[in-house]
Structure 1
Amino acid sequence: MSEARVYAVRNRLSEAVLSKDGPTVDSLVSDADARVALLADRIGVFVAGRVAVLAAWAEQPEEALFAGCKSIEEPAMGIAEVAEAAGLDAVGAVARGICVMLDGLVSRGIWHTDALRIHLRALTVVHAGSGQPGSANLTIVDELQTLRASLGFTD
């Protein structure tokens, strides 16, 4: 990953929110939540497609995984950015874990093929069980975080 750059973005909503005739912050947040809820199905389809792409990487030999880091990172980051909006919190957490591992390779030179494979396989398992109630997915997320910490990755 390249260095993070911070951009100062003009808050175009501040003028509307601060005016007495503008919408309230609560109404803007409520409207935004409603729009995201309408997108949940499309986000779910997007996440499922990215999970399928990443599942294929789990069976690749070490050389291919190492060489394909950039190809793994993009769909994992895509999942991590939007999964929670569709109620796929555990799926997003596993995808973030994959991103942490890939960032550890780039920034600190930490590479563990088996741990990356475990994360890729867990992503498939967690996604498959995302519609079921229970804490099994949360246990998987916690165990993966413990694994990363034991290998020197920082979330």
Structure 2
Amino acid sequence: MVAVGDRLPDLPLLEVDLGAIHLSRLRQTGPVVLLFIRHANSPECGAALRLYRDSLAPGLAALDAHLVAVSPQAAEPLAAVKRRHDLDFFVASDGRHALIDAFNLGFSSPGAGPTLGTGRSVLPFAAVVVADRSGIVRFTDVRADWSTRTSPSRILQAVR
């Protein structure tokens, strides 16, 4: 799995409002915080998105850091969750789970394919990855239990 000291891969993700975004371009203007979520219909993921919207996003903006929620779900349902929760940070589809695979964060979840809308059935573990402007991973927190979350204060500390 992804570990401190690894490099952030330069992979495109499909941001639901902007189209393709590249992690290497984001990190040129500030640290990148990747928040891996399952899908738009997950109550645990919705709760995490709201928590990070309220308690993390403002602090990251003050540090010129980018928050990116990443899901293997197709972009359309993710766009709906972005609007429903009034998220002011990036929400991106990794429909081919390239980033999830690069970080070795995925697991097979038979039956997830119809929910994801991509024809695939790989979900990520609950994870937060922080990379600095040079693309070096400085913090990771990977959890099997979706009901627990990384505290916003720990993430802010890692970005600082």
Instruction: Tell me if both proteins adopt one fold, taking TM over 0.5 as the criterion.
Output: no
Q: Which has the higher helix share?
A: 1
CA radius of gyration, larger in: 1
Q: Which has the higher strand share?
A: 2
TM-score, with normalisation over the residues of structure 1?
Answer: 0.26
Higher relative contact order (CA 8 A, sep 6+): 2
TM-score, with normalisation over the residues of structure 2?
Answer: 0.26
